[in-house]
């Protein structure tokens, strides 16, 4: 299912808002994108979600696994956004 770039960015913004709210509920002082995590830590979180998505895709039918993988992709992209919020976002 294709979508527009605007819809993708809206999904990322909603995920980042969710992450910030979740991390605040856990007692974090700063939102996810400004909490002190090294680039290595951010990449570890991202790889964990990638592996989880791969596990789902390898164990379930495409009818159930593809929607779950789409949610994982949103989470992964939003974690990368949070990392860039903290460590900078160089332009190409």
3-state secondary structure of 28: coil
User: φ and ψ at 89, to 5 degrees?
Assistant: -130, 85
Alpha-helix runs per DSSP H in 26-61: 39-59
Q: Say yes or no to pLDDT of 91 above 70.
A: yes
Count CA atoms closer than 13 A to 72's CA, side-chain side: 19
pLDDT tens-digit series, residues 16-67? 999 888 877 766 565 554 557 999 999 999 999 999 999 999 999 999 999 9
Q: Measuring CA to CA, how many Å separate 26 from each of 13, 29, 75, 85, 88? A: 20, 9, 18, 20, 25
Total-model pTM: 0.86
């Amino acid at each position: 299912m294709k979508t527009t770039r605007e819809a993708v960015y809206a999904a990322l913004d909603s995920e980042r808002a969710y992450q910030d709210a979740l991390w605040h509920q856990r007692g974090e002082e700063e939102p996810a994108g400004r909490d002190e995590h090294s680039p290595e830590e951010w990449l570890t979180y991202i790889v964990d979600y990638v592996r989880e998505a791969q596990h789902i895709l390898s164990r379930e039918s495409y009818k159930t696994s593809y929607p779950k993988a789409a949610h994982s992709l949103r989470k992964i992209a939003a974690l990368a956004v949070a990392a860039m919020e903290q460590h900078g976002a160089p332009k190409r």
